[in-house]
Amino acid sequence: MTEESAGPARRTREHVKLKLLALAAALALCGMVPGPAATEAFWTDRENATASFTALVIPAPAITACEASSVLVSGKLVPKVVLTWQLPAGYQLEHVKYWYSDSGLLNLGLLTSGNGYTTTGPTAGTYTTTFDGGLLGGLLNGSAIVGLSVAGPHSWESDVASREATFPLVVGTNPC
């Protein structure tokens, strides 16, 4: 090997040596820096306090009756669910949310206003909500879950009060 071709390799080795020397010097300096000073501060207090709190609980609507039916409309069987229910005290109809699923309780979906249901009342404090065929189409001899919840202040919401409706294969009704 000639001296010319050994030049770059020698320079690389010198750079590595310089870097190692700089690292060793930095580590030595770190060892010489003193740690934080000790203190005699401490915390003691003979006083204590206790308190309790409760979270806001919004009650769900009370479903008092549920009926699933297959009705004949224009020569076609159409499924329908009628819920009879009451609002918890202090809440209005505009606080109610409507839920639906044809694939189990864990898949409840929020319905938009007027999309597949109508609500009437109150009559003696009782509301009636009808979930109709447009929403329930194709579920004859099947089942669906319908439900209600109440929205409260600060985005709090009640649990969903729900019922599973099983539709008769022919014209008729089933309790749910």
**Which neighbouring-strand residues pair with 69?**
80, 173
Q: Are 72 and 168 in contact (CB under 8 A)?
A: no
Q: Is 131 exposed, middle or buried (0-12, 13-18, 19+ CB in 10 A)?
A: buried
Give CA–CA dist 19/16, Å, rounded.
5
How does residue 1 score in pLDDT terms, banded at 50, 70 and 90? very low
Q: Are 88 and 125 in contact (CB under 8 A)?
A: no
The reported pLDDT for the residue numbered 92 is: 93
Is domain 62-175 classified as CATH 2.10.25? no
Give CA–CA dist 21/48, Å, rounded.
57
Give CA–CA dist 60/131, Å, rounded.
19
pLDDT tens digits, residue range 119-173? 999 999 999 999 986 666 555 567 889 999 999 888 899 999 999 988 877 777 8
Indicate whether 93 pLDDT > 90.
yes
The reported pLDDT for the residue numbered 9 is: 61
pLDDT tens digits, residue range 25-37? 776 666 666 767 7
Indicate whether 105 pLDDT > 80.
no
For the chain, list the strands marked E by DSSP. Answer: 62-73, 76-86, 96-101, 109-110, 117-123, 126-131, 143-150, 161-166, 172-175
Q: CB neighbours (10 Å) of residue 133? A: 18
Note the helical H segments in 121-176: 133-136
0.75 exceeded by pTM: no
